[in-house]
Amino acid sequence: MSNLKIAIQKSGRLSDDSIKLFKECGIKFEVGKSKLKSTSRNFPADFLFLRDDDIPGYVEDGVADVGIVGENVLVEYGKDVDTAKALGFSKCRLSLAVPREVDYPGIEYFEGKSIATSYPNLLKKYLDKKGVNAQIHIISGSVEIAPGIGLAEGVCDIVSTGGTLLSNGLKEVEEIFQSEALMISNKGLSDEKRVLLESLLFRINAVQKAQSHKYVLLNAPNAKIDDIIRVMPGMRSPTITPLKQEGWSSIHSVLKESDFWENIETMREAGAEGILVIPIEKMIS
């Protein structure tokens, strides 16, 4: 069986998040700054470390079978690939920004002005939708410096926390696109490769489901068990075990973390004691 070729960003936050995900899936492979390729020791996969904007093209051409890429990059380059899974990490937004001292009136500010960006297609689509005619300067990196050197009146760039804009004297004024990490795949994958991809997605789903759930244990008086399990039903139903102390039981359940925090006070008011919340490493439905 030939290995599944997986392309990931060679450096940056998306690279770190992707590598972390594969490690959590139990897939072992070597990572290094100078490495361009690595073969897993325990899963039939070869990892290719590439520039993020090259990944959609490599997957479309079949050089890589699968890739992890930002949704912003995929849409910008418009390659013909399948989206295997939205991964939910490396979330960011593509935004317009102007110098902090500008009294920004609205999108009409950019009429007739110049904007520096690495995402000309996404930017043009947004400006056309808003009916704004602006000049787009395409820059491959360090977009934030453009207003400071007189190249453009504004920028369009990826924003996570806004710290980079702030440090360059800019402020975010328009959000034009929301992005997250996607797993993409070649449209012509062989049946053999599709089986490997499904195996990989099975592991990813198990890891990600576990991250959003917690194993909850608590003690409760038997008279209050029905009140408590109404707000902690679990995957199918809770496990209830009698304690040595007469009239008390231990209740075990798996809950979504959000459900736990929404209902914790109700559980306590119903008499729950000794509540333990334990992380889950993997969760198989």
* Residues 78, 185 within the same domain: yes
Asked whether residue 56 is domain-assigned, the answer is yes
pLDDT of residue 1: 66
Q: What is the CATH number of the domain that holds 11?
A: 3.40.190.10
Please state the domain count of the chain.
3
| pLDDT tens digits for range 178-223 | 999 999 999 999 999 999 999 999 999 999 988 888 899 999 999 9
* Residues 141, 108 within the same domain: yes
Asked whether residue 167 is domain-assigned, the answer is yes
Can you read off the two tokens belonging to residue 244? 């040595």
What average pLDDT does this structure show over 105-121?
A: 95
Helix (H) or strand (E) holding 214: strand 213-221
Asked whether residue 18 is domain-assigned, the answer is yes
Alpha-carbon distance values, 220 to 24, 88, 233, 248, 257 (Å): 35, 36, 15, 6, 20
- The mean pLDDT of the chain is 92
pLDDT of residue 259: 83
Can you read off the two tokens belonging to residue 107? 């999108």
What average pLDDT does this structure show over 124-128?
A: 96
* Residues 16, 81 within the same domain: yes
Full domain range(s) for residue 123: 92-178
